[in-house]
């Protein structure tokens, strides 16, 4: 009974929490994980995608996506990368900086593909260019898979540019 009360209290705390971003010191390490106390309330097998502010580690070219156009305009991003090396997301209560394995050349193609892997997740970003001026706008799908076989897909809307 005690554990049930703790679980529901933690769940309510997470459910009522607004878009708070865990701040971490920039690290030269290729993988940075910032743990959040809310992770205790996440059931096994489910993947929780949270919004992030634009990463201060990104200084020049980048790609960044939200779930839809309205969230994108409100700067509620769920994914950002530095257009080649590192992808940033907040999954299951942890802010992650992960190495990009592959990324398509957006200047040449009308399609966007990115593959990211870490010990805990395999992430795929696929999109089609919907507008191309200074920055290229894309709509597509972000798919996340955990080693236990659980998978989640969400639509994305965002841009890539310098």
Tokens of 136: 């290229």
Question: Residue 128 above 70 pLDDT?
Answer: yes
Looking at the chain, the whole-number percentage of residues with pLDDT higher than 70 is: 69
* Mean residue pLDDT across the chain: 78
φ and ψ at residue 147, rounded to 5 degrees: -60, -25
CB-CB contact of 123 with 25 (8 Å): no
Tell me the whole-structure pTM to 2 decimals.
0.70
* Alpha carbon distances (Å) from 90 to 3, 107, 144: 26, 28, 12
Q: What is the pLDDT of residues 53-85, one digit of tens each?
A: 999 999 989 999 999 999 999 999 999 999 878
Domain assignments of the chain as residue spans, ordered by start: 29-37+46-161
CB-CB contact of 38 with 10 (8 Å): yes
Confidence of residue 162 (pLDDT cuts 50, 70, 90): confident
């Amino acid at each position: 009974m005690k554990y049930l009360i703790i679980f529901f209290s933690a769940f309510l705390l997470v459910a009522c929490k607004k878009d708070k971003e865990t701040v971490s010191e920039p690290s030269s390490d290729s993988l940075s994980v910032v743990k959040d106390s809310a992770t205790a309330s996440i059931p096994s097998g489910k993947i929780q995608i949270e919004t992030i502010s634009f990463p201060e580690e990104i200084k020049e070219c980048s790609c960044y996506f939200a779930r839809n156009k309205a969230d994108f305009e409100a700067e509620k991003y769920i994914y950002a990368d530095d257009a080649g090396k590192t992808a940033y997301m907040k999954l299951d209560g942890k802010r992650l900086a992960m190495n990009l394995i592959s990324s398509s050349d957006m200047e040449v193609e009308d399609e966007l593909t990115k593959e990211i892997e870490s010990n805990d997740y395999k992430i795929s970003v696929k999109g089609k260019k919907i507008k191309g001026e200074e920055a290229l706008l894309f709509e597509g799908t972000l798919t996340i898979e955990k080693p236990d076989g659980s998978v989640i897909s969400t639509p994305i809307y965002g841009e890539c540019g310098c």
